[in-house]
Amino acid sequence: MYISAEAMADWDKQYRAAFVNSLTGYKPANLVGTCSAGGQENLAIMSSAVHLGSHPPLIMLVLRPDVAPRHTLDNIRATGHYTLSHVHETLIEPAHQTAARYPREQSEFTACGLTPAYREGFAAPYVKEAFLSLGLSLREEQRLAINGTHMVIGEVVWVSVPDNALRDDGSIDLYRSGSVALAGVDSYYAPQPLCRMAYAKPDLPPRRID
């Protein structure tokens, strides 16, 4: 089926959002943990984390302008710290529930039945129930004039990963860490390993590692 820009512009808002949110393909499912200067905790599910570089280790998050009171962004600005916790299968329901518009004074940890945990010297809470979590320190923030989204760039300052998920070459086996994938705004998936591919070279055919 061919769909033009004109057709998309004519669609109902929710139908269009469901469609366009699906176009990039599979997305990561992360819980972003923050805390205000006054100690009010916040947790929000996000699927917009992107790898930006490895040295220094940088991750970009895109924050939507229409998530009315932007508790997460305010907290990141206030403390400079935030965490990502990978969602695994049994966390899907509480993780998705963090998207509800709770008032600022209500912690999504409490409301959704998840436990905040802290690392010494790091202001933002991570999700204790998660198998893989990491701490980020704010490096740069920018509002994109094109549609008012915010791009937040952080440097990875600590990582907690299950021992058996760390492969000999440094890569993380996300099947073993139990991480799930998201599609669109509401569809959760359990990825099954297909193959690993060797580094591609012009003079060699594609080769599978395993």
User: In angstroms, what is the minimal distance from the CB of 173 to its own copies?
Assistant: 8
Q: Which residue stretch of 34-42, 74-82, 122-130, 194-202 sits at the interface with its own copies (rule: CB under 8 A)?
A: 194-202
CA distance 127 to 46: 14
Task: Match 């669609």 to its residue by tokens.
Answer: 11
Distance CA 138, CA 152 (A): 7
Q: Which of 98, 114, 122, 123 binds its own copies (CB under 8 A)?
A: 98
97 makes contact with its own copies (CB under 8 A) = yes
Of 75 and 98, nearer to its own copies (C-beta) is 98
Separation of alpha carbons 20 and 7, rounded Å: 12
For the CB of residue 151, give the shortest distance to its own copies in the complex, in Å: 8
If the CB atoms of residues 37 and 53 are measured against its own copies, the closer one turns out to be 53
Tokens of 199: 């580094």
Q: How big is the site for its own copies, counted in residues (CB under 8 A)? A: 114
Query: Per CB under 8 A, does 184 bind its own copies?
Result: yes
Task: Residue 208: count other Cβ atoms within 10 Å of its Cβ.
Answer: 9
User: Distance of alpha carbon 133 from its chain centroid, rounded?
Assistant: 11
